[in-house]
């Protein structure tokens, strides 16, 4: 019988650390349910001690998820571990993931602790975590730059203290596959009680080697990979779940293990994460990119028509790409709408919420002929945002763009219940619109990113706009969708502004003081 490769998804925790990718409670629940449909083994839902919002989100995910284990991150501090234990108390299956840095540079300059003190702290953290759950994971942060003898010492100690998973992170994405795989093999051989724990890896993608390093570790005996949907994560991101899973599935001749992932949910989950975070998937991205199974070369097309296997090593249908899907339109009824939303993992707790969503769907159907699942995801994201963000709302927008004339925009906003109007000129109607909004709100924020993507095909497609703002060191992401790209731009800017006005900052677990 083949070994089980455990898939540990950290999209909701490490993935959220991407600048601008912060998710609210409801968005985390939607992604968690999608991950559960994907049959992810462990969902790292957040860092409960970081803020009250993070605590509530981890607790909400714990309540919403039934099959996957829910994990909370905690530094090797009693307060962090207790907070994680409280947030996970309602989970059917829970895990506490505690960590402390083990490299000489981190111990000396960041922790200001001796190696003996670090071992003592790590052991105490694992023992405290065991008060809340039997499933405890320990990570020696910056393991790639740690001394191997010290790694062996601290790992042996935490396994003896009750750690059931040992995660070796390539924190700065510096490792190379042969060396990283060999290190995992040596640790498993050198540590006397290594057989009492599952070895895991968490690789960053700074050199584009996160997936390669993860797979090299699997070949050397690691049986858990920590990864994210679309490779989302801070800096260059993490190992992409879809690439790890499909590499193992496709190359069963090489890997002595397999996952329990429902691969047909990969593409839907990818689209959901992209929609919520505002991080579009590049067209040539492996597995989930729009061109992943496209063939333009005549030679390739001829080969695929004769036999798919000539140029395709996977079936598009196996990862969730399919042309056979129900397309909704303005004549579709409430039951078809509810059924399609349920297939996308979206359930309406109240009839009022369903009625509002159905009304929005009908309005959209009057603007475009066919409604695809990407349109529905955007529709729900917008509904959730508007139900929470009442401080700033777009009431009306008028723009003028004549050849040879300076573009102008007039906006009417409702700010804390009061209507306000402003006009502005710009280099284009979008520029004029955003300047008019800013003149009313005076946020003082810097625009770091303005990006437009077509949600589906056709000239009547909705445009999805991503806006990234920075103020006082805080970075937020705003999303807006509409068949009119100027309106979508205004919605995205207001979405981001509302987050600046109403959201508290969040600690970053790797830079917070220990």
Are 351 and 426 contained in the same domain?
no
Identify the domain containing residue 436 by its residue range: 389-502
- Total domain count for the chain? 4
- The per-residue b/e assignment along 166-181, b for 16 or more CB within 10 angstroms, e otherwise, is bbbbbbebbbebeebb
CATH number, domain of 450, equals 3.30.160.270
- pLDDT tens for 240-259 read 999 999 999 999 999 999 99
Task: Answer for the pair 99, 146: CB distance below 8 angstroms, yes or no.
Answer: no
* H helical segments located in 415-506: 429-441, 485-502
pLDDT for the residue 297 = 42
- pLDDT tens for 29-75 read 999 999 999 999 999 999 999 988 899 999 999 999 999 999 999 99
Helix or strand run (H / E) with residue 382: helix 373-388
Are 7 and 124 contained in the same domain?
yes
CA dist., res. 395 & res. 360, Å (int): 16
- CA 119 → CA 125, 181, 193, distances in Å? 10, 24, 16
Place of tokens 């989930």: 288
Q: Which of 68, 66, 40, 55 is nearest to 226 (CA)?
A: 40
Assign 449 a pLDDT band (cuts: 50, 70, 90). Answer: confident
Are 66 and 148 contained in the same domain?
yes
Question: Is the residue at 264 inside a domain?
Answer: yes
Are 347 and 420 contained in the same domain?
no
CA dist., res. 88 & res. 450, Å (int): 37
Higher pLDDT, 139 or 506: 139
Are 157 and 125 contained in the same domain?
yes
Q: Assign 169 to helix, strand or coil.
A: strand
CATH number, domain of 258, equals 3.20.20.70
Assign 506 a pLDDT band (cuts: 50, 70, 90). Answer: very low
CA dist., res. 55 & res. 242, Å (int): 28
Question: Is the residue at 512 inside a domain?
Answer: no
Which range in 187-201, 342-356, 489-503 is most confidently predicted, on average pLDDT? 187-201
CA dist., res. 364 & res. 482, Å (int): 8
Does the pLDDT at position 307 exceed 60? no
Are 455 and 364 contained in the same domain?
no
Does the pLDDT at position 361 exceed 60? yes
Assign 313 a pLDDT band (cuts: 50, 70, 90). Answer: low
Question: Is the residue at 456 inside a domain?
Answer: yes
In 10 A of CB 313, how many CB atoms?
9
Assign 372 a pLDDT band (cuts: 50, 70, 90). Answer: confident
Assign 113 a pLDDT band (cuts: 50, 70, 90). Answer: very high
The pair phi, psi for residue 9, each rounded to 5°, is: -95, 130
| Mean pLDDT, all residues of the chain | 87
Percent of the chain with pLDDT strictly greater than 90? 59
The pTM of the full predicted model, rounded to 2 decimals, is 0.81
- pLDDT tens for 407-439 read 999 999 988 888 999 999 999 999 999 999 999
Are 40 and 86 contained in the same domain?
yes
Are 397 and 454 contained in the same domain?
yes
Are 39 and 145 contained in the same domain?
yes
């Amino acid at each position: 019988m083949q070994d089980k490769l455990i898939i540990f998804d950290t999209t909701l925790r490490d993935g959220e650390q991407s600048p601008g990718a912060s998710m609210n409670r409801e968005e985390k629940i939607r992604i968690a349910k999608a991950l559960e449909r994907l049959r992810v083994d462990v969902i790292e839902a957040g860092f409960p001690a970081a803020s009250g919002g993070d605590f509530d989100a981890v607790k909400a995910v714990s309540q919403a998820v039934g099959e996957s284990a829910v994990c909370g991150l905690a530094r090797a501090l009693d307060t962090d571990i207790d907070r994680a234990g409280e947030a996970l108390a309602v989970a059917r299956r829970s895990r506490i993931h505690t960590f402390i840095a083990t490299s000489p540079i981190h111990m000396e300059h960041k922790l200001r602790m001796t190696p003996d003190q670090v071992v003592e702290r790590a052991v105490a953290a694992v023992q405290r975590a065991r008060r809340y759950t039997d499933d405890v994971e320990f990570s020696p942060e910056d393991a790639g730059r740690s001394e191997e003898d010290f790694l062996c010492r601290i790992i042996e100690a935490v396994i003896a203290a009750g750690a059931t998973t040992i995660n070796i992170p390539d924190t700065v994405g510096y490792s190379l596959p042969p060396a990283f795989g060999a290190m995992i093999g040596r640790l498993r051989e050198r540590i006397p009680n290594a057989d009492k724990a599952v070895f895991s890896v968490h690789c960053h993608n700074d050199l584009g080697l996160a997936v390669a390093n993860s797979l090299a570790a699997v070949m050397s005996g690691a049986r858990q990979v920590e990864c994210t949907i679309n490779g989302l994560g801070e800096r260059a991101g993490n190992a992409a779940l879809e690439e790890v899973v499909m590499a193992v599935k496709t190359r069963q001749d090489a890997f002595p293990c397999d996952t329990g992932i429902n691969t047909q949910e990969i593409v839907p989950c990818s689209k959901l994460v992209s929609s919520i975070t505002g991080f579009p998937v590049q067209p040539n991205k492996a597995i989930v990119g729009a061109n992943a199974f496209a063939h333009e070369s005549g030679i390739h097309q001829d080969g695929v028509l004769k036999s798919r296997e000539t140029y395709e090593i996977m079936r598009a249908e196996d990862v969730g790409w399919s042309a056979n899907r129900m397309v909704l339109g303005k004549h579709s009824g409430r039951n078809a709408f509810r059924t399609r939303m349920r297939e996308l993992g979206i359930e309406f707790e109240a009839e009022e919420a369903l009625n509002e969503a159905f009304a929005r769907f009908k309005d959209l159907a009057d603007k475009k002929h066919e409604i695809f699942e990407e349109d529905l995801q955007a529709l729900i994201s917008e509904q959730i945002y508007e139900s929470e963000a009442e401080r700033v709302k777009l009431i009306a927008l008028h723009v003028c763009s004549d050849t040879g004339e300076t573009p102008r925009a007039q906006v009417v906003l409702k700010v804390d219940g009061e209507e306000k109007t402003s006009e502005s000129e710009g280099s284009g109607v979008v520029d004029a619109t955003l300047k008019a909004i800013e003149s009313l709100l005076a946020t003082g924020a810097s625009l770091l990113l303005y990006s437009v993507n077509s949600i589906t095909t056709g000239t009547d497609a909705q445009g999805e706009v991503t806006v990234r703002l920075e103020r006082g060191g805080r970075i937020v992401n705003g999303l807006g969708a509409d068949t009119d790209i100027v309106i979508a731009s205004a919605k995205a800017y207001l979405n981001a502004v509302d987050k600046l006005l109403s959201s508290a900052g969040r600690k970053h677990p790797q830079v917070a003081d220990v």
